[in-house]
A and B are shown apart, each in its own frame.
Chain A
């Protein structure tokens, strides 16, 4: 007697969000990326539709980053030049380029101006073909000023701007609306606030298909299980038809993984059995990303090209239909 596979029936699905715009769509991107769209839990193709593979964004900064020396072989020759760095990220197979404007931090000496940032974004767009995400320096006033200028400079390209939070979303939402970009809305591991924020952003007039959610993540060993629970619940909300909870999720796997001692500790300070840092750091990041994808991430932000490569391979394997 054949075994009957029990299938969960859901009424909702994850909202599909498109990033980037090609020439025909008024931009200059070589391709667009679709996020979300799933009508089932992650990678359960036998149960529903998973129209879009989760994607990988590679992180670049507008200034030289304070990263571990193991990044020197892959990015050391380009990280003084963000445009060259962006091109390199594309060569490493990034689906999306994620530019963090850390140089606009108002507490830095020679803090970059909004105009500097807008010019840089334009230059990155002119020299690359991947869709772009731009994150402000993380100081509300400066974020507003910088992202406004960036939004105008990138008009037509359908980039994503971040990050909007509960107490600072109006200006960013306005900038996104005006230039028809997407917005990244973040809440610190709090699903209730995330839903409220989505409501507030849509009430300002941002279309729901222009919102990406960042539930905030912890690195492997540093609270990833909280992120996992929040993401799992958000996906479940989307699947039972809770529209304000149905947005695709971005996970900051790279930045979080590389905050962990286990990723960075040199071999002489490593615990027993930790192994070589070069392998260990990459694995720490890849494992963090893999867990977050299983929790329902639609876009993982990654840092090390080797880790990104491992995750991309895994994603391709996971996207093979597992029909019964």
Chain B
């Protein structure tokens, strides 16, 4: 998926976020290079969701910067951002499964024959072909999240953000989504997702960014992180103690 001018790495420099005068995300710095699956790990309220939103551009950092590599400006002038996002609770338009994908592509500036091809590809790739004409909001929770991922995939992102994509799903649907995500990584899409589910982080992560109270406490390869975390907070979290 790496095109000539990649938007990666994504460089976050001392990006902080205040809400109502309170510091919600501390000035954290990290870099997301191309490839692999990075998990933002931490208890609820650690600032995982806000961090993803800052990266995706839904929020503007109060201080610091979120910077994409040189390709981004060229991309911005063209049509697409090169990164997409899937939310915790799937946001389904009141339209058919197919129209949900078509709409996202149209919004991103894709049109004509290319759009049609991509919609068909996305429906097939994610096993939604038979559901194409059904109202999206009548799908099961797992299918809705699958559609949300298919819709994001159709935009051909280099980097895909997912905010707790399985927190509202049962184990079977969770497993399906996790398999999908591994497939995306194998396809060359860089994935950054948040979760508070330790097991999920163990199963999926290549790299872990551990957040606690808005602060990036640890940034490590997954195997190192799970083998021996450096910080007391991460040790406590891994030991199953209640962190808040």
Asked if A and B are interacting partners, one says no
State the B residues within 8 Å of A (CB): none
State the A residues within 8 Å of B (CB): none
